[in-house]
A = this chain, B = another copy of it.
Amino acid sequence: MIAIDKLPTKHPKITEEIRSRICSGKIETKLPSLRKLSEEFQVHPITLQKALATLNAEGLIKNKPRKGYFVQQHKIQKVIILMHSYKNDKGYFGSILNILLKLIPSYHLQVQVFYLKPGQQKENFINPKDLPQDKNTAILTVGFQEQYYFESLLKAGFPVVALDTIPVNSNVHCVGVDNLTTGSEATNYLINKGNKKILFLGHSRGNMSEADALILEVGYKISMETAGLKPHSVFNNNSNDKQTAKNFNQIFKKFDKWDAVFASNPTAIKAFFNYCKDNNLPKPKQCIFLDFLKKNTKDATVRIDLEQLCKHALECTKKLQKNNHMQPQRILVNTQLNIPKHLL
């Protein structure tokens, strides 16, 4: 695959647009004539020719002398994305999907996305038997963690790549975040700032612990114990405010005042700070939490590089389609500490 950002700047947008039309099936066999395309894009035919030459070099189209350019359908592989969230989700999973959709044409993949329907429970998500059963189709799941669902996908004969959460099924390829290192590095940041009573604050899905939060907690524990400090954890319960308040209450029985807190997501820390405010409890002086947004914040955060995550997942999807029987891969991506200047 050609690195798109290395092409001359004049025609990449045109190349990208034509590539995307081909991969989405809008152009299926023969490309419109050079004249027609240059009129549509309002560029000189030579500029257009350069765009087509790029796609020709990629192998996506082929020039037949005097006949024009033809789509090489066999170069296009299919991927079905299963989203563990609703359409137009503006959160973590939605952000991942947007990046995937932007990257997908450059991987010569034809994509179809399935979402949870409003109000639909994940237990009632689309039956793998009802998914398009084309050959050479790989499944890319985003945010799924349900063992039984992975099993039914594999049973239906799909190769599966899982993105984001490491699923607990050894037959699924997956790309996730190295939460162990993340948890340890975030905790080290707070320890190096001189904090001693450091709390780990994890998020959960109702009564179920989230795997990523639990692994962050392991990294936190290792760093605390290495520094000779005692680890203390608390989890919120995102579907039961009373239970959350009870959990937070218990943690303030251990110490009246916490030096610092490391939280597994922004929602959990917000809930914790609100609880402190409502109950007239001292807010920890320092905090750090996991975030995926690139915006500048006044807080110390650990950032997940979603683009890196998506690139690894798509590369895995490509490899898998070429070699259906390859051993499941498990790749973890690092995070970066983002400490604003005023906190350094």
Binding site for B on A (CB under 8 A): 145, 147, 166-170, 178, 180-181, 183-185, 188, 207-209, 211, 214-215, 218-219, 221-223, 225-226, 308, 327-335
Contact = CB atoms under 8 A, between A and B. Distances in A.
B334 A331 contact: no
A170 B334 contact: yes
A214 to B, nearest CB: 4
B332 A330 contact: yes
A166 B147 contact: no
Contacts of A331: 329-332
Contacts of A330: 178, 181, 331-334
Given A185-B170, A331-B330, A334-B328, A180 B211 contact: yes
A170 B178 contact: yes
A218 B209 CA distance: 9
Given A168-B181, A170-B181, A184-B168, A218 B211 contact: yes
Contacts of A168: 180-181, 183-185, 219, 222-223
Contacts of A180: 166, 168, 211, 215
A226 B332 contact: no
Nearest to A148: B226
> Which are the 5 A-B pairs with shortest beta-carbon distances?
A168-B184, A330-B332, A214-B218, A170-B334, A168-B181
A183 B178 CA distance: 17
Nearest to A213: B218
Contacts of A185: 168, 170
Contacts of A166: 178, 180-181, 332
Given A180-B211, A330-B331, A332-B332, 15 more contacts: A147-B184, A167-B181, A168-B183, A168-B184, A168-B219, A168-B223, A169-B181, A170-B185, A170-B334, A178-B330, A209-B221, A214-B221, A215-B218, A218-B218, A330-B333
A329 B175 CA distance: 12
Nearest to A332: B330
A185 B334 CA distance: 25
A226 B166 CA distance: 15
A331 to B, nearest CB: 6
Nearest to A328: B334
Contacts of A188: 147
A222 B211 contact: yes
A263 B104 CA distance: 43
A225 B211 contact: no
18 contacts: A145-B222, A147-B188, A147-B223, A147-B226, A166-B332, A168-B180, A168-B185, A170-B181, A181-B330, A207-B225, A208-B226, A211-B222, A308-B327, A328-B334, A330-B331, A330-B332, A330-B333, A330-B334
A222 B334 CA distance: 23
Contacts of A223: 147, 168
Contacts of A145: 222
Nearest to A215: B218
A281 to B, nearest CB: 29
